[in-house]
């Protein structure tokens, strides 16, 4: 099968006349049989045998991670090309949106799921490193990180774990440590995210990382080569054997043998990254670059060709010039390695020495490795011998599959028969607030530096020192001489998604909007990271299609674009697939950060409910604690929601609001308790036709708890079609329904029950 290429050490011609599946398996390729046949036909037209380097390069480019071969047809029907009045400036390594007259903001969101399942510390750390590079290579200074995380249940019995599956406590501890150490050391604050638990994430956690950056408009740079003759300069970390076959590993199910893929996990190095980021931004400000792109999935095999082809050109590379971590790496390993902390520049010949001098000044290794050519081909030489010559449009085009799908049920159906009324409502409330999925996440948050760079206006936990409560959104002040701000949030409910992928996705988009509005921000853009199981299973593709249809419908309703994102498939183990998880990051604009409000209850002001509570108990935390199933999940009504959202924002801008918190997982009761744990209680009296437990625990969409400032009650009430006063501040937390007291709790006891669950499980 293999024949040495003359004068090229460790390079081989591959005979494709044999069993193509066996050839792919022997070379460690992820190419499917029909894909191998297409490769064979291509080289038949070229009238030659491929080298192993060429096959490895095609394997990377045609992986699910790189070419979206299963998801692209659905995305083209739904999410791609959505019309919005909010103009997207660019969608490249990161998305670009307008911030103000002088600045753009950059958005990136990606996943690092499979690597984190094998090596939680290294997998999550390199996820942060990769998303930072995506923002930097647009010319933007990173200013904030976001980390939506999903794990199995922390008290999972060890004996129940399958071979090769690591315990959720170990995975969560490693992931959080990796994000902490990388983000803190590189000096970028981690300000928002979520931590969710579900038993179906046990063998396949989800580690999503987002980044926001800011760039002056004239300094934005594109991820494409400038012109023929431009020189490629590789800068940053050395190339090694870490991260080989990373994208192909990410494009298949995890199993007991996945531990053998540990070499596919890259090794992050924030100490190398920090000066590299400064170098990139300085070179761009000095106007010395014609193009810039990070080395992520596929390594050199992807970045060289993508930079060239996006500019309408090709590339020629001398591979022996690449600086290496170890000796005697075969050329195919050098070409596909995903070693971290590397950036690729294209530079005009006259600026090469200036660029190399600045690299040396920053103590960043850099070397010229090739040039841009007119022909749209990738040509790679190794010590003077040609070892790769591929048509770029063939390589980057990749196969596309219209996978069969079984759509899940969209109809939510009728409300189920109500359960028995709780015998002890106080105990039922405590059971709700002490569930890990809604309990305090300060074990995670306090490990991150969310104040470095001094731009964080509203933090992920808010309120008096020692009595902090969870915020709905964090707010960043990106520009020194402006009061305009960026608000960030992330949210998805895996239980709701599992019950109904369409309405679960619609609810997630609405909740992102609610979270942003709670601090006074108007949603401006969305990023999505679509994490699903094996697309070759029709039920999984049905979940994916239903969720994408909801993403389209929701974004159209709120007139907001998806500016960045990715698709992560094959999140599946022998025990089954993860819940469908379209992770969302919302970015909102705040006109004046001085008007922002926090979620902690203040000592003055009346308490109001905005929005209607309905008997929509499907997938609710209350029903799940009772072991009940119900199809009647919360639905969305954007026609009524959007005016209320705008009216709430206007009330905040008019100083009518002292505190605000949206109602979501856990219902009204959890929102009130979270607000009160800042030290001020509340007496809530709900006039309702609903049964008390439904009124307290329903997770209907479109609702906020708002504390209205003294003297503004009339102004506030007149703004809304549906807003009602439900209470006043108090020393304790008291719930009444139609003037009948049904529960009384102290702030101290609920804070203890809410704070301890994560700490107790991870101690």
Structural element, H or E, at residue 610: strand 606-610
Task: In whole angstroms, give the CA distance from residue 384 to residue 47.
Answer: 22
Secondary structure of residue 501 in the 3-state scheme: helix
> What are the start-end ranges of the E strands in 270-384?
291-294, 314-318, 342-347, 366-373, 377-382
Burial class (CB in 10 A: 0-12, 13-18, 19+), 137: buried
Task: Please name the residue ranges forming H helices in 362-422.
Answer: 392-397
Dump the DSSP string for 158-174.
Answer: GGGSPTTPPPHHHHHHH
Structural element, H or E, at residue 490: strand 485-490
Dump the DSSP string for 348-361.
Answer: -GGGHHHHHHHHHH
Residues with a known catalytic role: 65, 112
DSSP character for 374? S
**102 is written with which tokens?**
């002088």
**755 is written with which tokens?**
């704070």
Q: Cβ(236)–Cβ(322) under 8 Å?
A: no
Burial class (CB in 10 A: 0-12, 13-18, 19+), 323: middle
How many other C-beta atoms lie within 10 A of the C-beta of residue 502? 26
Task: In whole angstroms, give the CA distance from residue 167 to residue 202.
Answer: 7
CA separation (Å) from 534 to 64, 75, 93, 163, 392? 11, 16, 25, 20, 28
Task: In whole angstroms, give the CA distance from residue 252 to residue 236.
Answer: 30
Q: Which residue, among 113, 82, 114, has the nearest Cα to 95 in the 3D structure?
A: 82
Residue 31: CA count within 13 A, CB half-sphere: 29
DSSP character for 516? H
Task: In whole angstroms, give the CA distance from residue 630 to residue 417.
Answer: 9
**212 is written with which tokens?**
């926001």
**627 is written with which tokens?**
């072991």
Secondary structure of residue 442 in the 3-state scheme: helix
Q: Are strands 562-568 and 522-531 parallel, antiparallel or unpaired?
A: parallel
**CA end-to-end distance (rounded Å), the chain:** 54
Q: Cβ(554)–Cβ(115) under 8 Å?
A: no
Q: Are strands 576-577 and 572-573 parallel, antiparallel or unpaired?
A: antiparallel
Q: Kindly compute the dihedral angle of the four CA atoms of residues 151, 157, 158, 160, in this order, to the nearest 10 degrees.
A: -90
The distance from CA 519 to its chain's CA centroid, rounded to whole angstroms, is 21
């Amino acid at each position: 099968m293999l024949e040495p290429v003359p004068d090229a050490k460790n390079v081989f011609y591959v005979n494709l006349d044999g069993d193509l599946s066996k050839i792919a398996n022997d070379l460690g390729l992820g190419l499917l049989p029909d894909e191998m046949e297409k490769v064979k036909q291509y080289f038949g037209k070229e009238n030659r045998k491929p080298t192993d380097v060429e096959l490895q390069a095609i394997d990377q480019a045609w992986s699910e991670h790189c070419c979206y071969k299963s998801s692209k047809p659905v995305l083209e029907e739904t999410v791609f090309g959505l019309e919005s009045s909010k103009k997207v400036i660019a969608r490249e390594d990161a998305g670009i949106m307008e911030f103000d007259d002088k600045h753009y903001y950059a958005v990136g969101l990606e996943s690092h799921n499979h690597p984190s399942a094998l090596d939680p510390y290294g997998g999550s750390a390199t996820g942060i490193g990769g998303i930072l590079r995506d923002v930097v290579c647009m010319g933007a200074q990173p200013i904030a990180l976001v980390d939506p995380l999903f794990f199995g249940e922390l008290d999972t019995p060890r004996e129940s774990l399958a071979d090769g599956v690591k315990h959720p406590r170990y995975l969560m501890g490693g992931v959080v440590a990796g994000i902490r150490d990388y983000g803190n050391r590189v000096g970028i604050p981690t300000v928002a995210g979520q931590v969710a638990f579900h038993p179906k994430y046990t063998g396949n956690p989800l580690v999503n990382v987002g980044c926001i950056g800011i760039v002056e408009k004239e300094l934005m740079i594109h991820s494409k080569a400038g012109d023929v003759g431009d020189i490629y300069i590789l800068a940053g970390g050395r190339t090694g054997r870490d991260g080989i076959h990373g994208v192909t590993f990410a494009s298949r199910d995890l199993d007991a043998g996945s531990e053998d893929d540990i070499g596919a996990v890259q090794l992050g190095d924030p100490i190398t990254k920090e000066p590299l980021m400064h170098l990139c931004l300085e070179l761009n400000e000095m106007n010395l670059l014609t193009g810039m792109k990070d080395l992520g999935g596929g390594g050199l095999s992807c970045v060289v060709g993508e930079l060239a082809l996006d500019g309408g050109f090709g590339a020629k590379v001398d591979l022996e010039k690449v600086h290496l971590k170890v000796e005697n790496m075969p050329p195919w390993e050098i070409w596909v390695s995903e070693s971290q902390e590397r950036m690729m520049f294209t530079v005009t010949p006259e600026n090469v020495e200036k660029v190399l001098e600045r690299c040396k000044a920053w103590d960043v290794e850099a070397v010229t490795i090739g040039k841009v050519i007119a022909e749209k081909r990738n040509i790679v030489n190794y010590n003077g011998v040609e070892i790769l010559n591929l048509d770029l449009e063939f390589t980057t085009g990749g196969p596309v599959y219209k996978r069969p799908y079984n759509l899940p049920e969209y109809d939510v159906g009728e409300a189920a028969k109500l359960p028995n009324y709780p015998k002890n409502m106080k105990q039922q409330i405590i059971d709700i607030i002490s569930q890990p999925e809604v309990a305090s996440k300060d074990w995670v948050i306090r490990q991150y530096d969310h104040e470095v760079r001094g731009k964080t206006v509203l933090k992920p936990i808010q309120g008096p020192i020692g009595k902090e409560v969870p915020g709905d959104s964090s707010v960043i002040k990106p520009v020194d001489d402006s009061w305009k701000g960026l608000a960030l949030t992330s949210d998805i409910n895996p239980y709701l998604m599992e019950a109904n992928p369409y309405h679960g996705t619609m609810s997630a988009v609405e909740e992102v909007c609610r979270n942003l509005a709670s601090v006074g921000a108007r949603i401006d853009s969305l990023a999505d990271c679509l994490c699903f199981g094996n697309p070759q299973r029709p039920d999984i593709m049905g979940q994916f299609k239903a969720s994408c249809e909801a993403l389209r419908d929701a974004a159209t309703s709120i007139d907001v674009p998806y500016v960045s994102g990715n698709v992560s498939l094959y999140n599946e183990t022998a025990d089954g697939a993860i819940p469908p998880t379209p992770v969302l990051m919302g970015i909102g604009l705040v006109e004046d950060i001085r008007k922002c409000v926090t979620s902690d209850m203040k000592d003055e002001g009346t308490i109001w409910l905005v929005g209607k509570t309905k008997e929509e108990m499907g997938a609710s935390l209350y029903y799940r604690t009772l072991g009940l199933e119900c199809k009647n999940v919360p639905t969305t009504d954007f026609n009524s929601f959007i005016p209320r959202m705008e009216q709430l924002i206007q009330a905040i801008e008019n100083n009518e609001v002292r505190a605000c918190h949206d109602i979501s997982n856990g219902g009204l009761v959890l929102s009130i308790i979270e607000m009160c744990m800042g030290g001020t209680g509340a007496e809530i009296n709900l006039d309702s036709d609903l049964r008390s437990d439904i009124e307290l625990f329903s997770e209907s969409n479109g609702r906020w708890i708002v504390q209205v400032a003294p003297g503004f009650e009339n102004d506030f009430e007149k703004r809304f079609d549906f807003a009602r006063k439900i209470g006043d501040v108090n020393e304790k937390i008291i719930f009444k329904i139609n003037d009948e007291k049904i529960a009384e709790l102290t702030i101290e006891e609920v804070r203890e029950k809410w704070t301890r669950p994560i700490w107790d499980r991870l101690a």
